[in-house]
Structure 1
Amino acid sequence: MNAYIFPGQGAQFTGMGLDLYENSPEAQELFEQANKILGFNITDIMFEGSAEDLKETKVTQPAIFLHSVILAKTLGDAFKPDMVAGHSLGEFSALVASGALTFEDGLKLVSQRAQAMQKACEIQPSTMAAVLGLEDAVVEKICEETPGVVVAANYNCPGQLVISGEVEAVNKACEALTAAGARRALVLPVGGAFHSPMMEPARKELAEAIENTTFNAPNCPIYQNVTASAVTDVAEIKTNLISQLTAPVRWTQSVQNMIADGATLFTEVGPGKVLQGLVKKIDRSAETASATFEQ
């Protein structure tokens, strides 16, 4: 069975999407449509901007979404997913690719999400840290025992968990995690504490936008970050998508469940190969590939 997976923030690179724009009339049309929807020429930043320009949340999230979704659309009949999943932001790409959301609505929601997250980051200083080489249960226990807000945010693969919360609480947790034997506990250069209670203002803002958007039943199950299980019910998809900003990304569990449900090939659609690397760490026997546009 074919599983298609869609990357999240951090996969961006200068020049992303330019090959699609130059070689596919359909892609060119969608990129131009995106410029109009967003009200600025995101294509200029994607194709010619610096790494610094691409790092801005209001640019990064729509840029990765556009690269993934437009690539999926250019695959034509070759794109036949039996199941889909996306890491954090990538869940929106997966929903559009599986027909649950239109291209236009997906892009509008991603743009609103990026702006709402940016605002939430400005309310109170917060951060995230990658923890390597510890069992999930140990990391969870130390987060619980640390004063302040700090939670497990991204279950990326066994032995790699990202924590998220208030700056001081994350720093204290990193000290305790290092003392507990973590190979590394490294604060990440991110704008704020994504997938933690610190994103509650953004969750409220996005909830309204999601409620007012039309969703369709996807043409295959989507394994959502919040539950890590196959979902096709529209109401459930919306509920999980609203919870996603303040809940952890259960990527390890999603991939394990997709494999248990019959996934044999994981094809990453979008910039980079980060998710393929994580899939291999979750199950070495899983086959992985990158989606490529062929003229």
Structure 2
Amino acid sequence: MSKTAFLFPGQGAQKTGMGQDFYEKFPSAREIFDQASQWLSLDMKALCFEKNDRLNLTEYTQAALVTTCLAMEKVVEEYGLCPDVTAGLSLGEYCAIAVSGGMSVQDAITTVRKRGILMEQAVPAGEGSMAAVMGLDADKIQAVLGGMKAEIANYNCPGQIVITGPKAAVEEASVKLKEAGARRVLPLTVSGPFHSSMLQNAGKELEKELSKVEFSSLKIPYVTNVTAQYVTDFKETKDLLAKQISSSVRWQQSVEKMLEDGVDTFVEIGPGKTLTGFMKKIAPDAKTYNIQKVEDLELLPEIMDNRGSR
């Protein structure tokens, strides 16, 4: 029998207008946006639907993106499609956990608001950076980084790995990685050295916030970025989320784990097609779909037909 995974994007996927068509057409999506506005004392409609400077600021981006993805996912489930497993890239893992039943929608949205603030404040502006390394495998990158302060932030897909750390270390590593054969090394426009050891203190502060969250038994498993393994015991979630903020995002390994478990259909829910693009490089033969606009819901009957009887 076919197995389906719901995938949720991370920071960087946000864009003006995301989720507006869902808000206007579906009461369940509207409710999540309106509730998020109340929970956070933020105008979520203005933040997500209107052009503004705040949407790309980490302290606002994370809550906006999680609100949007969870509003879209709610509608997908109302159409009758439910996942066998969930996973999210970095920030998206909070969506994955909420959909798996491990935390409430309210806790997911309010916690990532605090997470965004902690990540924004963790390292003074300009001291850290990140860069995407194209065309060099992980072992070679790790060998070049040996003894340096730069670290691997994301294992996105074959041929694309992100490095992170102090700005000077990332710049030095970028030069050496090009010398080692990287096709390109592209500096990323980010506000800090995310998923590096420089965020360990932010992880400790986040753990205090997570201690206030009521975690619940999982209805279905999710795959954690930290280990790229299935999580079935909700008691592991708090520690994993605290570690995740300064750990490498093992996205490619997470997808490979789901493939190993028999997952053959992957549905990315949220703005952009970042994860769909990664999927084409990790598993080009897998059935991959993207739901980011209301018209994309027309794909759902095809997805459900492909799954066969449950």
- Shorter-chain TM-score range: over 0.9
For the residues of structure 1 that align with 2:36 and 2:95, how far apart are their CA atoms?
A: 14
For the residues of structure 1 that align with 2:74 and 2:260, how far apart are their CA atoms?
A: 28
The residue identity in structure 2 corresponding to 1:230 is Y
**Aligned partners of 1:7 and 1:86 also within 8 Å:** yes
The answer for the alignment partner of 1:262 in structure 2 is 262
For the residues of structure 2 that align with 1:160 and 1:123, how far apart are their CA atoms?
A: 25
Q: How does 1:93-172 map to 2 (within 5 A)?
A: 93-122=95-124, 125-146=127-148, 149-172=149-172
- Size of the aligned set, in residue pairs, is 292
The answer for the alignment partner of 2:61 in structure 1 is 60
The answer for the alignment partner of 1:92 in structure 2 is 94
Q: Displacement, 1:42?
A: 2.2
For the residues of structure 2 that align with 1:43 and 1:7, how far apart are their CA atoms?
A: 20
Which deviates the most, 233-242 or 110-119?
233-242
Q: Displacement, 1:122?
A: 2.3
Kindly indicate whether residue 253 of structure 2 is the aligned counterpart of residue 253 of structure 1. yes
Q: Displacement, 1:218?
A: 1.7
Residues 149-196 of structure 1, C-alpha deviations (whole Å, 9 max, x = no match): 210110000111000000000000000000001001111110010000
Which deviates the most, 73-82 or 100-109?
73-82
**Aligned partners of 1:57 and 1:114 also within 8 Å:** yes
The answer for the alignment partner of 1:205 in structure 2 is 205
Residues 105-140 of structure 1, C-alpha deviations (whole Å, 9 max, x = no match): 111111010000001032771010000111101111
The residue identity in structure 1 corresponding to 2:164 is S
Structure 1, unpaired ranges of 5+: none
The answer for the alignment partner of 2:224 in structure 1 is 224
For the residues of structure 1 that align with 2:29 and 2:197, how far apart are their CA atoms?
A: 37
For the residues of structure 1 that align with 2:16 and 2:140, how far apart are their CA atoms?
A: 38
Q: 1:20 aligns with which of 19, 22, 33?
A: 22
For the residues of structure 2 that align with 1:217 and 1:269, how far apart are their CA atoms?
A: 23
Q: Displacement, 1:53?
A: 3.1
TM-score, normalised by the number of residues in structure 2: 0.91
For the residues of structure 2 that align with 1:20 and 1:284, how far apart are their CA atoms?
A: 29
The answer for the alignment partner of 2:304 in structure 1 is none
For the residues of structure 2 that align with 1:78 and 1:248, how far apart are their CA atoms?
A: 34
The answer for the alignment partner of 2:8 in structure 1 is 6
The answer for the alignment partner of 1:73 in structure 2 is 74
Moved over 2 A (4+): 121-124, 291-295
State the secondary structure of the residue aligned to 2:151: strand
State the secondary structure of the residue aligned to 1:55: coil
The residue identity in structure 1 corresponding to 2:280 is K
**Aligned partners of 1:150 and 1:164 also within 8 Å:** yes
For the residues of structure 2 that align with 1:276 and 1:252, how far apart are their CA atoms?
A: 12
**Aligned partners of 2:195 and 2:248 also within 8 Å:** yes
Structure 2, unpaired ranges of 5+: 299-310
For the residues of structure 2 that align with 1:98 and 1:190, how far apart are their CA atoms?
A: 29
For the residues of structure 2 that align with 1:151 and 1:104, how far apart are their CA atoms?
A: 33
Q: Displacement, 1:39?
A: 1.2
The residue identity in structure 2 corresponding to 1:203 is G
**Aligned partners of 1:155 and 1:161 also within 8 Å:** yes
Q: Displacement, 1:141?
A: 1.5
For the residues of structure 2 that align with 1:179 and 1:141, how far apart are their CA atoms?
A: 13
State the secondary structure of the residue aligned to 1:289: strand
The answer for the alignment partner of 1:238 in structure 2 is 238
State the secondary structure of the residue aligned to 2:218: coil
**Aligned partners of 1:42 and 1:59 also within 8 Å:** no
Residues 73-95 of structure 1, C-alpha deviations (whole Å, 9 max, x = no match): 11215231101100000000111
For the residues of structure 1 that align with 2:198 and 2:51, how far apart are their CA atoms?
A: 30
Q: Displacement, 1:144?
A: 1.8
Q: Displacement, 1:4?
A: 0.6
For the residues of structure 2 that align with 1:130 and 1:124, how far apart are their CA atoms?
A: 18
**Aligned partners of 2:153 and 2:249 also within 8 Å:** yes
State the secondary structure of the residue aligned to 1:284: coil
The residue identity in structure 1 corresponding to 2:46 is D
